[in-house]
Amino acid sequence: MKQVLQVEDMSVTFELHQSEVHAVREMNFSLAQGETLAVVGESGSGKSQAFLAIMGLLAKNGRAEGRAMMGDINLIGMEPKQLDKHRGKDIAMIFQDPMTSLNPTLKIKTQLSEVLVKHRGFEQSQAVKSATEMLERVGIPEPAKRANAYPHELSGGMRQRVMIAMALLCQPKILIADEPTTALDVTVQAQMLDLFKTLTEDFGTALVLITHDLGVVAGVADRMMVMYGGRAVEKGTTDDLFYDPRHPYTLGLLHSTPHIAKRAERLDPIQGLPPSLEHLPKGCSFNPRCAFAFDRCLVERPPLAPTGNGREKACHYEGPMAYGKVA
Amino acid sequence: MVGYVTRRVLSAIPIALIAVTACFFILRLAPGGPFDGERALPPTTLANLRAHYNLDLPLIQQYFIYVGRLLQGDFGPSMVYNDFTVAEMLWIGLPFTLMLGFSAFIIGTIVGLVAGALSAVNQNKWPDYMLVFLVMIGLVVPNFLMAAIMQLVFGVYLDWFPAGGWQAGSIPHLVLPITVLVLPHAGRTARLMRGSMIEVLGTNYVRTAKSKGLGQRLILARHAIKPALLPVVSYLGPGLSYLLTGSLVVEQVFALPGIGKYFISAALNRDYGLVLGTTILYMFIILAVNLLVDILYAWLDPKVRYS
């Protein structure tokens, strides 16, 4: 399978007044054409910042290092002008909050058509026509009428559909969706995931799905990368990670997700709080919350290493894992 | 849109009426009258004068007479400049004052918007620091002091522009007074524009625009300016009223033939008709500008349009 994105040794650092925060460290992964990669982790695990860095959208005090190779071009550290030739065309992004991600003062058709005018050199009228077709494709009823509307005249679900249409206009190689369903109703979430699945398949677009919702991952993703404290802690296929998690944190995440087949018991949350990136614990970042931590975990940070079968994990513990009440 | 404008115009009528009423009675609360002088007039003369101008009637009746005439477009006579009606007096001074005020308004608004936007785009770099410094000077120095400094520096020491006075059609005579009026207006506008532009540049929709690869120019021109203008535009109405009141003082300092001279002396002389006439005219100008601002606002923010 052809790789469309190869991230090597990427790190993201934020400069604060007195100190530096390492939001992402030593990130390595590749993304094959047409596949769906889920990036999973709690708030503050660095999952969003990693992809904002790839898009060149870090806040002013943020700095990215390493490589994110799209073909033979490195997106990290690229001049904004050069980056603008690829953003929106080869690599597109959808954000968490559809309510604020569209410009309230511009009509939908303006916000869509400008992408085609910029990247495809379309005439305005032609661009509006294509944009309207794309709106129909993402399941917006009466697309011609909606194209003339302003964002506040549409519901949240409709706006997220507009965002999807906007991101897919140029049929990008890579689509990054940052918590695309978090702000939506549960019923709308499912529709939205179906839409992602269908459209990325149609266009051969590789999808990165950033989320903390494992329910979202299960139905859609081919592979998963679990992040904790700015680092990837486990990688593998979705099936492997769901049925046979090897990292205690992945296991914890799975247990803290409601399960329809199980009796309604109390959920089993992971104890403790996500770590502050400014003061990560010594050794393994997860050790204060880990049920399996032993003395080595307190002093030596486990590297992300292959465990066979194309899987990787960053954990010293090799024994069997029983968790809480669920043995 | 037409309905919106009609509603706005109609809602200006009660506001105008309230303002006229308030002006009328507040003015009459002030002690003294138009015929008080160094030497008291003979009682019979005074009585005749008061009867002539209806000042002997009960106040409420005078009010209705005044409003009745006003509705017919009659501002009444000036009580101090006996040979002139208020309308004639206004006609002498007002065109100049409006020319001065609106020139300063337009120049100041444009300068303020550009300076504010430049400041925001270069936030915390040296052009921003310089602009913020200039804006502070424009804001904190009161106009009568700024006028005196300008006269001294550019009129006397450097002798670049006339320090005062007026010749019809002479632009150099206008440079200093307009500069004095522009500075605070441009300063306030720039400060608002800087703040709102910085806010807009940090919004999610500007991030979306960046993620589309639009490039900085297009992002500023299409995505950032319109929403950034909103708070600035709502300031323009009050901004104009500051400017027009400021121009009364500036006209005095630069000895310009505007309405300012009459307005100030009319207030001191208790020339009821002239003070009311000037105030009412100013009120109409400000109401009209506020109406324009509201229409502009509706154009900038689609959410306002149908509400």
Q: Is the pLDDT score of A294 beyond 80? A: yes
Q: Are residues A86 and A197 in the same domain?
A: yes
In the predicted model, what is the mean pLDDT of chain B?
A: 87
Residue A103 touches chain B, beta carbons under 8 Å = yes
Between CA A235 and CA A39 the distance in angstroms is 9
Question: pLDDT tens-digit profile of B5-30?
Answer: 788 888 888 988 998 999 899 988 88
pLDDT per position as a tens digit, A138-148: 889 999 999 99
In tens, the pLDDT along B167-183 reads: 877 888 889 999 999 99
pLDDT at A7: 94
Q: What does the domain layout of chain B look like in residue ranges?
A: 88-273
Look at residue B159 in the predicted model and tell me its pLDDT. 85
What is the number of domains present in chain A?
2
Asked if pLDDT for residue A153 goes beyond 70, the answer is yes
Q: Can you give the pLDDT at residue A327?
A: 34
> What residues of chain A, 280 to 309, have a C-beta less than 8 Å from chain B?
none
Taking an 8 Å cut-off on Cβ atoms, the answer to whether B215 and A57 are in contact is no
Contacts of A140 (CB under 8 A, 6+ apart): A146, A158, A161, A162, A165
For the segment A234-257, what is each residue's pLDDT rounded down to a tens digit? 999 999 998 888 999 998 888 887
Q: Quickly list DSSP for A19-49.
A: -EEEEEEEEEEEEETT-EEEEE--TTSSHHH
Q: What are the residue ranges of helices labelled H in chain A?
A: 47-54, 80-83, 98-101, 108-120, 124-137, 143-147, 156-168, 186-203, 214-220, 238-243, 248-255, 295-299
Kindly list the residues from chain B whose CB atom is less than 8 angstroms away from the CB atom of residue A81: 215
Pairing of strands A206-211, A36-40: parallel
The answer as to whether A96 is a domain residue is no
Residues 223-282 of B with CB under 8 A from A: 223, 226-227
| A278 and A207 fall within a common domain | yes
Q: What domain range includes position A33?
A: 3-90+171-313
More confident: B153 or A323: B153
Highest mean pLDDT among B94-98, B109-113, B144-148: B109-113
- Determine the Cα–Cα distance for residues A48 and A179; give it in Å rounded to an integer: 9
* Domain stops at, among A169, A188, A215: A169
CATH of domain B88-273: 1.10.3720.10
Residue B42 has pLDDT above 90, yes or no: no
Residue A112 in tokens? 């869509």
Q: How confident is the model at residue B255 (pLDDT cuts 50, 70, 90)?
A: confident
Checking if the pLDDT of A323 tops 60, the result is: no
Q: What is the dihedral of CA A94, B205, A87, A125, to 10 degrees?
A: 100
Task: Give tens-digit pLDDT for B198-251.
Answer: 999 999 999 999 999 998 899 999 999 999 999 999 898 888 888 888 888 888
Residues A192, A46 within the same domain: yes
CA-to-CA distance for A237 and A252, rounded, in angstroms? Answer: 18
| Whether residue A165 sits in one domain with residue A115 | yes
Residues A154 and A189 in one domain: no
Cα angle value B288/B290/B293 (rounded, 5°) = 115
B222 and A85: CB-CB below 8 Å? no
Contact B211 A88 (CB under 8 A): yes
A242 and A221 part of one domain:
yes
Lowest-confidence region among A147-156, A235-244, A266-275: A266-275
ipTM of the complex: 0.88
Q: Which of these ranges, A130-134, A173-177, A251-255, has the smallest mean pLDDT? A: A251-255
Do the Cβ atoms of B213 and A101 come within 8 Å? no
Q: Residue A225: inside a domain, yes or no? A: yes
Sequence-separated contacts (24+) of B275-279 with Cβ below 8 Å: B275/B23, B275/B27, B276/B20, B276/B23, B276/B24, B276/B27, B276/B66, B276/B75, B276/B86, B277/B75, B277/B76, B277/B86, B277/B87, B277/B89, B277/B90, B278/B90, B279/B19, B279/B23
Q: Whose CA is closest to B175, among B256, B236, B248?
A: B256
**Rounded Cα distance, B256 and B227, in Å:** 39
What percentage of chain A exceeds 70 in pLDDT? 96
Token pair 């410009």 is found at A103
Q: What's chain A's average pLDDT?
A: 89
Proportion of chain B above pLDDT 90, given as a percent: 28
Tokens representing A103 are: 């410009």
